[in-house]
Structure 1
Amino acid sequence: MPALSLTRSLEIAVSRSGRDERIDAQKEKRSFEDSDSNSTQDLEAGDVNLDRKESLVRERSREVEDSNLVWWDGDDDPANPMNWSATKKWTNICVMSMITFLTPLASSMFAPGVSQVMDEFNNTNELLAALVVSIYVLGLAFGPLVLAPLSEVYGRLIIYSICNILYVIFTVACAVSTNMDMLIVFRFLAGCMGSAPLAIGGGTIADLFPVHQRGLALSFYTLGPICGPVVGPVAGGFLSQAKGWRSNPQSGAITIAQSLFMRETYAVTILARKTIRLQKATGNKNLRSKLDTGIPPRDILIHAIVRPTKMTLLSPINILLSAASAFIYGILYLLLTTFPLVFEQTYGFSVSISGLSYIGLGIGNIAGTLIFTCTSDRYIRRQASRGKLKPEDRLPVLLISSPVIAAGLFWYGWSAQAHTHWIVPIIGSALVGAGNMCFFMPVMGYLVDAFTEYAASALAANTVLRSIGGALLPLAGRSVYARLQFGWGNSLLGFLALGFFPATVGLYRFGERIRVRYPVKL
């Protein structure tokens, strides 16, 4: 028993000693972990403080940077064209619309006097007779390729001013031309300069009006390119017979009105000028416009010149609209150049009276304008109230354009071939005019809404192909009528116009999906 007790006592002592050692080891371990934890917390606290300091530095840097950005002085800044008074806005729109009306007017005012030109210069080439009218429209095609990009670099106003002055000079040069070559060259240059409002007018409207207020302004603007070529022959017929083909009036008065009443509307240019003023006043050379991309003007200009071409070639929507616009505008000018053929030869009208045959197109244009004006903005506001607003909401009126144009061409062609009363083909031409406006007004409105910042380039891209169609298709007009006569010749055009109807329906229904799927990097 004593031996067992001694052994038991030794085991207990050893057990206690081991337990005490384990306890001491665990205490040391906890102590080390606590120490390590405190060290980690200190390091993390240091990191947090460092992040806070870096964040504060970034915030202060942003504040300094923001303080150097030049922007409007509040939402109601009167310098912002969107905040201009209605009088100031509509003064700019009216002057611009008058210029837009006069420059296409000159393209067709010349038409009734072509026979006088050919007689004076001893030329009987019918193709050249059509070219001397359509070469002006070819100038309208090439001008926007340069003028629209220049307006996005240097502003709208300077482009209007320079082009109006040069337009008057080249138009006077046409009036004093001494041979056919000189006349054709100066008509081309006049067309290039006259294209300024066609190239940048849509951009001016986007500068001045929000999307739900653009319909009426677009109506005034679009009347020019469509009604100008129609009104021109009415005046040109009487002027040519009374005073000769050299007597066409110039647009000097409108040029003066433009210089007196129009103001710069492009926000990028306005803010750039404001930045320069503030830099001079404060001595702070770090000030820069909020819209300044930091890209040199030369590079901006190169990109801007390329932009219309990219829109034309890479955007499926622009390809469709440009092709359709070229054809529809070509039909308009084909009618304009062949009306004398129809009404002078078939109905025996004189040169002056034949100009009155264009009134049907003019009445149709007014009717189409009223249809668009009375429906477009109202529909846009309703869609906006539902939260569903999109650029394609400009297009419902477009859907009726192709059938109306086709019906007008059938009516005009077969009535002229049947030698019915002269009022019957003129009524048919009125339908063509109404269809034209129902086509071009929605298209221009859509391009402005879809490419607001680059509206000038979008319209320029459309104007280029549209004007090429207006220049080239009329060259085939006389030969088409010679082979197919007025009935089947116009029916052919009508069937082609109907071919665009499915495309317009597809654009209205799937346009948004196509835009999103095939964006153009501008």
Structure 2
Amino acid sequence: MAEEKSIFSALSRVASTENAQPAISQPPSPHRLSSDTSSDSHAPHEISDPEKGVHEDAHAVERVPTKDANLVDWEGADDPEKPLNWTKKKKWQNMLIIAALTLLTPFGSSMFAPGVPDMMDEFHSTNVDLASFVVSIYVLGYALGPLVIAPMSELYGRVIVYNVCTFFFLVWTIACGVSTSMPMIIVMRFLAGLAGSCPITIGSGTIADCWKQEERGMVMSAWTLPILLGPTLGPVIGGYLSEYAGWRWNFYLLSIWTAVMLVLTIFILPETYPPVLLERKAKKLRKETGNQDLRAPSELSGRTPSQILLANVIRPTKMLVRSPIVFLLSLYIALVYGYLYIMFSTLTIVFEGQYGIGKGNVGLVFLGLGFGQIIGLFLFAGTSDRMLKKRAAKNNGVMTPEMRLPFLLHNSLWAPAGLLLYGWTAEYKVHWIVPIIGTCLISIGMICSFMPIGVYLVDAYTAYAASAMAANTVLRSFGGALLPLAGRRLYASLGYGWGNSLLAFVALLFVPLLWLLMRYAEFLRTNPRFQFKM
């Protein structure tokens, strides 16, 4: 059950322009250095940018002189080696691999949920809190993994982090399948969640490496689809596997899939992170020319990798604490995400108990959530980029990240409406399709929150999108891990009707906050009081 990142740019206004930065001329040299130090959306130069609301210092270097013959950069703004200039075919091939990898780990979060009762019987446990915790502990791994994974990707690049995390996800998933006790499977599930958070953490970073702002809405929708469909489709397959092959086969099947993806990431997936690509280019040129003074921009900081890593690890926490807009948006998505995981941890009990649906078929009730996610994605993909361009046209062609936020407010009532419909119809055992429609509405609301918030953070903190999304993922995942622990007791105390009504009323309290955020988000992001050195 579960699902946000990379450093994309340290240059001013990348999030609100069309990547048309001025070129920096350099004298001819035998190693043909780039004249486009400003065009790299990941350049590490120190910039204080009120557009992003942070004091950017991606690699803590002084501004590089414009005529530095030893500075290795891109071969102009149209350099085909620059990921933003790759062909659409290459970009989409890369995205398909990332999307398949991203589907894998959320799929594993909920796949064995229908088999939990069998597992509890095998381990002789009747603790209802443990039954929820063994599922949600995976999402707790999602909360902590990004704090290390995002900084590592900003230091060493995307691909090596994808490869290492996929390998450990394979190891710990196999360990789940061969677990011999509840403590063992809980620990292994947590570790699998840590490693499994990788594609969700840095996938949006890969997108920002390769796609321009006005293209990201559609691409983010395509990438987000597996994040959200995975937890929904997992129980459908897991229900039948648990009934006919045993609960352990959920992990064995997942391990086979992971092994295939590991081969693809090792042998096919290309590096996309511009600072790392430029470092490799500089290393190659030093070897070819013998000029040991050649350096990529990211190599000019004078800091050790451990110092850079420490600064990068601290950054997501600093964003949560110091940036009101990051904290408030993350808090809201944590609530909605927690509601989704309450559904995941209780749907089996509700439909088995209220409607008598069997173990194999009970996984099918999760499809209501899946349909809602697809509808929400179509709503976002079909309107987000179009409305962004329309609003930009009214703003003299200037795009601002806040132009993404009206979509969030306009769709904020889906989840409360779905909770009320689901809760009261399940309470009175109305035909099973009606509460499933309620779960569909909840999913629409979740997508219509998740997508604009994610794209907003990428657009607003382009240079530090990985850290912004890591901060968002941490808080969101805590919501997904902890709120389900209260789900069963909430329903036991208040019933399905009033229990879900309480959840709906809390969600409604956030609607005025969303209106205020839409109105004052740019102020919160750009006001000097909330700017800080990254």
TM-score, normalising length: structure 1: 0.86
For residues 63 and 461 of structure 1, the distance between their equivalents in structure 2, rounded to whole angstroms, comes to 34
2:36 aligns with none
Correspondence list, 1:214-253, <5 A: 214-248=216-250, 249-250=253-254, 251-253=258-260
1:284 aligns with 291
Correspondence list, 1:257-268, <5 A: 257-268=264-275
State whether residues 226 and 365 of structure 1, in contact with CA within 8 Å, keep that contact through their aligned partners in structure 2.
yes
Pick 1 or 2: higher relative contact order, CA cutoff 8 A, min separation 6.
2
Partner AA of 1:515 in structure 2? R
Correspondence list, 1:124-203, <5 A: 124-203=126-205
* Cα deviation digits, residues 152-185 of structure 1 (max 9, x gap): 0000110001111111111011001111111111
Partner AA of 1:330 in structure 2? G
1:350 corresponds, among 352, 358, 361, to 358
**How far is 1:378 from its partner?**
1.0
Indicate how the Cα distance of structure 1 residues 64 and 312 shifts in structure 2: closer, same or farther if over 3 A, else same: closer
1:519 corresponds, among 499, 510, 531, to 531
2:505 aligns with 495
Secondary structure of 1:97's aligned partner: helix
For residues 63 and 362 of structure 1, the distance between their equivalents in structure 2, rounded to whole angstroms, comes to 53
Indicate how the Cα distance of structure 1 residues 282 and 468 shifts in structure 2: closer, same or farther if over 3 A, else same: same
Point out the more displaced range, 400-409 or 249-258: 249-258
Where does the alignment leave 5 or more consecutive residues of structure 1 unmatched? 1-61
State whether residues 400 and 435 of structure 1, in contact with CA within 8 Å, keep that contact through their aligned partners in structure 2.
no
1:422 corresponds, among 429, 432, 438, to 432
**How far is 1:225 from its partner?**
2.5
State whether residues 226 and 436 of structure 1, in contact with CA within 8 Å, keep that contact through their aligned partners in structure 2.
no
1:440 aligns with 450
**How far is 1:344 from its partner?**
0.3
Secondary structure of 1:453's aligned partner: helix
**How far is 1:64 from its partner?**
9.6
Secondary structure of 2:463's aligned partner: coil
1:411 aligns with 421
Indicate how the Cα distance of structure 1 residues 120 and 279 shifts in structure 2: closer, same or farther if over 3 A, else same: same
For residues 149 and 300 of structure 2, the distance between their equivalents in structure 1, rounded to whole angstroms, comes to 21
Secondary structure of 2:68's aligned partner: helix
For residues 64 and 393 of structure 1, the distance between their equivalents in structure 2, rounded to whole angstroms, comes to 34
Indicate how the Cα distance of structure 1 residues 69 and 129 shifts in structure 2: closer, same or farther if over 3 A, else same: same
Partner AA of 2:293 in structure 1? N
2:339 aligns with 331
Partner AA of 1:521 in structure 2? K
2:96 corresponds, among 81, 90, 94, to 94
1:467 aligns with 477
Partner AA of 2:233 in structure 1? V
Q: Tell me the percent identity.
A: 51
2:379 corresponds, among 350, 371, 375, to 371
Indicate how the Cα distance of structure 1 residues 64 and 303 shifts in structure 2: closer, same or farther if over 3 A, else same: closer
**How far is 1:421 from its partner?**
0.3
**How far is 1:290 from its partner?**
2.7
For residues 65 and 164 of structure 2, the distance between their equivalents in structure 1, rounded to whole angstroms, comes to 41
Secondary structure of 1:78's aligned partner: coil
State whether residues 148 and 456 of structure 1, in contact with CA within 8 Å, keep that contact through their aligned partners in structure 2.
yes
Point out the more displaced range, 404-413 or 228-237: 228-237
For residues 168 and 233 of structure 2, the distance between their equivalents in structure 1, rounded to whole angstroms, comes to 23
For residues 398 and 63 of structure 1, the distance between their equivalents in structure 2, rounded to whole angstroms, comes to 42
For residues 445 and 131 of structure 1, the distance between their equivalents in structure 2, rounded to whole angstroms, comes to 31
Point out the more displaced range, 360-369 or 400-409: 400-409
For residues 510 and 292 of structure 2, the distance between their equivalents in structure 1, rounded to whole angstroms, comes to 55
* Cα deviation digits, residues 427-466 of structure 1 (max 9, x gap): 0110001111100000110010011111111111110111
For residues 374 and 139 of structure 2, the distance between their equivalents in structure 1, rounded to whole angstroms, comes to 22
**How far is 1:520 from its partner?**
3.1
For residues 119 and 381 of structure 2, the distance between their equivalents in structure 1, rounded to whole angstroms, comes to 40
TM-score, normalising length: structure 2: 0.85
Partner AA of 1:232 in structure 2? G
Secondary structure of 2:152's aligned partner: helix
Secondary structure of 2:190's aligned partner: helix
**How far is 1:504 from its partner?**
1.5
State whether residues 68 and 287 of structure 1, in contact with CA within 8 Å, keep that contact through their aligned partners in structure 2.
yes
1:300 aligns with 308
2:280 aligns with 273
Partner AA of 1:364 in structure 2? G
Indicate how the Cα distance of structure 1 residues 285 and 448 shifts in structure 2: closer, same or farther if over 3 A, else same: same
Indicate how the Cα distance of structure 1 residues 428 and 64 shifts in structure 2: closer, same or farther if over 3 A, else same: closer
Indicate how the Cα distance of structure 1 residues 63 and 351 shifts in structure 2: closer, same or farther if over 3 A, else same: closer
For residues 292 and 188 of structure 1, the distance between their equivalents in structure 2, rounded to whole angstroms, comes to 36
1:314 aligns with 322
* Cα deviation digits, residues 190-245 of structure 1 (max 9, x gap): 00000001111111111111100101110022223322111111111111111111
**How far is 1:293 from its partner?**
4.2
Partner AA of 2:215 in structure 1? Q
State whether residues 401 and 436 of structure 1, in contact with CA within 8 Å, keep that contact through their aligned partners in structure 2.
no
State whether residues 100 and 224 of structure 1, in contact with CA within 8 Å, keep that contact through their aligned partners in structure 2.
yes
**How far is 1:287 from its partner?**
1.0
Point out the more displaced range, 65-74 or 471-480: 65-74
**How far is 1:63 from its partner?**
8.2
2:125 aligns with 123
Q: Please state if 1:83 is matched with 2:85.
A: yes
- Structure with higher Rg: it is 1
Point out the more displaced range, 321-330 or 288-297: 288-297
State whether residues 396 and 508 of structure 1, in contact with CA within 8 Å, keep that contact through their aligned partners in structure 2.
yes
2:21 aligns with none
Secondary structure of 1:279's aligned partner: helix
- Report the number of matched residues: 461
* Cα deviation digits, residues 96-143 of structure 1 (max 9, x gap): 112111101111111101000100000001111111001111111111
Indicate how the Cα distance of structure 1 residues 431 and 293 shifts in structure 2: closer, same or farther if over 3 A, else same: farther
**How far is 1:260 from its partner?**
2.9
Higher helix share goes to which structure? 1
**How far is 1:65 from its partner?**
5.4
1:361 aligns with 369
State whether residues 408 and 430 of structure 1, in contact with CA within 8 Å, keep that contact through their aligned partners in structure 2.
yes
Partner AA of 2:103 in structure 1? F
Partner AA of 2:363 in structure 1? G
Indicate how the Cα distance of structure 1 residues 238 and 389 shifts in structure 2: closer, same or farther if over 3 A, else same: same
* Cα deviation digits, residues 329-386 of structure 1 (max 9, x gap): 1100001100011100110001111100011110000000000000111122233443
